[in-house]
Structure formats: C-alpha cells, structure tokens
Homo-oligomer: A and B are copies of this chain.
C-alpha cells in the first residue's frame, strides 16, 4: 500500500541492481557459516553511496532521510537477509555522531564510515539484554584532560572490525556516550561464538580496562545526555530494523511463492491447494502490515514527529511479521525449506535474531504500556 515517489523508486532500483549484481549466494553461505563480515560488498556499497545514506552531504553522506535508508534496507534484505543486515550495520552508532557530536569528531569518523574505510558500532548492553539500561556498570572517570573507561559490554555488533565504538558509560551519576577508537590500549574484544542469526555482522563482548581517551571524545561535549542520545540511536535503528524485517519477510515470501507455483503434489500445483493459498494470503497480509508500519514511521521520523512508542510498535510488528512469514516459508518448502541452500532457513534465523536485537518483545511491551498507562508504581 505504500507508494514510492519517482526518486524513491530510483533508489529502490539502484539498490536492487546492486544486490542482484553483488550478492552471490554461494559466497554468502560460506561467509555466514564462517561469521564473516562482507568486506568486499561493503566497500562497493560505500562507493555507490549505500553506506551513510542519512549522513550530511558535507561528510560524504547521502543527505537523505530515513525513509530512503529504509528502502535500501528493505531491498537489500529482500535479496538476502544476512548480507542486507550486515551492510546496513556498517554505520551503527553514527546516528548519534551526526546528531550530537561536535564538528571535529564528525569530521574524524563520519566521512571514514561513509567511505567504507571503517565500521562504527555502539556498545551499551551489560546485562542480559533489554536495550538501554538504567544501571550502568561501565565507568568513565576524568583524569586530567582524559576520560578513563573501565567496564564490560556485551553483544557489540561488528566489534571485531569496527574502528570506533560509541560506548555508554557512567561518569559519576551522569550517563555519557564516549567515542572509543578500537586501537586504544585496554580495549579487548571477546568472541562469543556463533549466533542463531545475524552472523555476517557478528557480535562480540568488549572489555575496557583503563582505556584512556581525550576529553573531546565525549559525545555532545557535556555529561548527562548519554541515555537520551542512546535512545535517539536506538529509535533510528529500530526503524531501520523494521525495514530490514520487511525485506527479510518479502525475500522469504518471494521464494515460497515461486516454490508453490512450481512444485506439484498429488497431481496439482501446491498453489492450487486452498490451505497453501490461505498461508500465502496470511503472509501477504503480514507483509503489508509490516511495510505500512515501517514506512509510515520512517516518514513521520523524517518529519520529526515519530515518538519512541510508535517506533517500538513498528519494530515489534514488522519483526514479528518477518519471523512468522519466514517460518511459514520453511513449512511451505517442506524438506527443501530445511536445507541451507534454499535460503529460507537462514532468513528465518536472521528474522528471529532481528526480532530480539534492539529490544525484546517484553521490553517493547513494557515501553508501550509505559507510554499508554504511565510508569508502573508498585504500591499506590
């Protein structure tokens, strides 16, 4: 139901052509198995302007809105869930640069990320999960003109490759985001092994031991804004994640639809069975819903009018749709659906991981309820 403008259709076309040309299935299967970030495709994507789409043009970005970034995310993930998500992760955290950091920091990193010279990432999870935490164990202490950081962050996307990490710390009682270059002494990346999905943008734990960075690395220049800044990052990423989910769902749907139109059982095409048809209809409905939420929210965001609750709803809905559509795609493909070479099992794993990343279902519901009812108080 979402209608694209002419220029948006062009972005979509360019993204589709890139994906068709560069996303080689055999190579992807290997990379996914070995948990490799798609180095070569990333460089090319950056060259063509698919990385840093929303960065200001003055820092070699695309100067586009989030809506356009969502088109690219959907298109890439539709062609391949693992590759698409990985490429879209290349500039994770930069949202916060672009919006809150001072000129020097921007100049230092935004262009490098946009050019595909380095990856950025954000490190903010300490407990199980649950997005931003209210009790931050990682500390940042002033020492002369430096910050000294100590702590342990979990599930940091691309931590093994990223040149810069945006790290959530407690400076005394003030939450702050601090930029840490990965080559700083005391930064140690710890492998956490394979995950269910998302393996082309692998996560690691990161330990910070007396890591020293200059004062200027404090994002925004004054303490106390860290959680607000992080929320802005997460909000923007959640909309992108919703668009990725739409793409993943459509990719699985494409494959399932092609299969049921061609496969015969009991002398009929699978697509002639009412139950298959209803499954396809259910999938189509879920995809419509996911798309409507993702793009509608992106459009509001670009107008400056998307609030966190709407964003959480969009992400929940789209990622749930993707999981269900991919799951049904596996079922429709039967034994073939379970085989790695048919993609849909990987799409499912990526969809399920997408659903959990950036906030679980329960934490989203807590957030939505908080917005509707007001905060939870135990005893009135």
Looking at the assembled complex, report how far the CB atom of A305 sits from the nearest CB atom of chain B, in whole angstroms. Answer: 8
A residues 37-85 touching B (CB-CB < 8 Å): none
Asked whether A317 lies within 8 Å of B285 as measured between CB atoms, the reply is yes
Cβ proximity bits A278-305 to B, threshold 8 Å, 1 near / 0 not? 1011101100110011001100100001
With an 8 A cutoff between CB atoms, is A373 at the interface? yes
Q: In whole angstroms, how far apart are the Cα atoms of A16 and B56 in the complex?
A: 45
Looking at the assembled complex, report how far the CB atom of A296 sits from the nearest CB atom of chain B, in whole angstroms. Answer: 6
Q: In whole angstroms, how far apart are the Cα atoms of A317 and B1 in the complex?
A: 14
Instruction: Report how many copies the assembly holds.
Output: 2
Asked whether A281 lies within 8 Å of B378 as measured between CB atoms, the reply is no
With an 8 A cutoff between CB atoms, is A196 at the interface? no
Asked whether B292 lies within 8 Å of A373 as measured between CB atoms, the reply is no
Asked whether A257 lies within 8 Å of B372 as measured between CB atoms, the reply is yes
Size class of A's contact patch?
Answer: 35 or more
Asked whether B277 lies within 8 Å of A373 as measured between CB atoms, the reply is yes
From A257, A260, A292, A379, residue with most partner B Cβ within 10 Å: A292
Q: In whole angstroms, how far apart are the Cα atoms of A364 and B297 in the complex?
A: 27
With an 8 A cutoff between CB atoms, is A271 at the interface? yes
Asked whether B284 lies within 8 Å of A368 as measured between CB atoms, the reply is yes
Known: A257-B372, A365-B278, A368-B284. A380 touches B268 (CB 8 A): yes
Residue of B nearest to A380 (CB): B269
With an 8 A cutoff between CB atoms, is A261 at the interface? yes
Known: A1-B300, A289-B317, A292-B296. A369 touches B281 (CB 8 A): yes
Residue of B nearest to A267 (CB): B379
Residues of A within 8 A of B (CB): 1, 3, 257, 260-261, 264, 267-269, 271-272, 274, 277-278, 280-282, 284-285, 288-289, 292-293, 296-297, 300, 305, 310, 313, 316-317, 362, 364-370, 372-374, 376-380
From A260, A313, A367, residue with most partner B Cβ within 10 Å: A313
Looking at the assembled complex, report how far the CB atom of A280 sits from the nearest CB atom of chain B, in whole angstroms. Answer: 5
Can you name 16 extra interface pairs (CB under 8 A) apart from A260-B373, A284-B372, A285-B317?
A: A1-B297, A1-B300, A1-B310, A268-B378, A271-B374, A272-B377, A272-B380, A274-B366, A277-B366, A278-B365, A278-B369, A280-B373, A281-B367, A285-B316, A288-B293, A288-B310
Residue of B nearest to A368 (CB): B281
Asked whether B293 lies within 8 Å of A313 as measured between CB atoms, the reply is no
Looking at the assembled complex, report how far the CB atom of A286 sits from the nearest CB atom of chain B, in whole angstroms. Answer: 10
Chain B contacts for A372, CB-based, 8 A: 257, 280-281, 284
**A-B residue pairs in contact (CB < 8 Å), sample of 8:** A269-B377, A271-B374, A272-B380, A277-B365, A280-B369, A281-B367, A285-B316, A285-B317
Asked whether B288 lies within 8 Å of A313 as measured between CB atoms, the reply is yes
Chain B contacts for A313, CB-based, 8 A: 284-285, 288
Q: In whole angstroms, how far apart are the Cα atoms of A316 and B288 in the complex?
A: 12
Which of B277, B362, B377 is A278 in contact with, Cβ under 8 Å?
A: B362
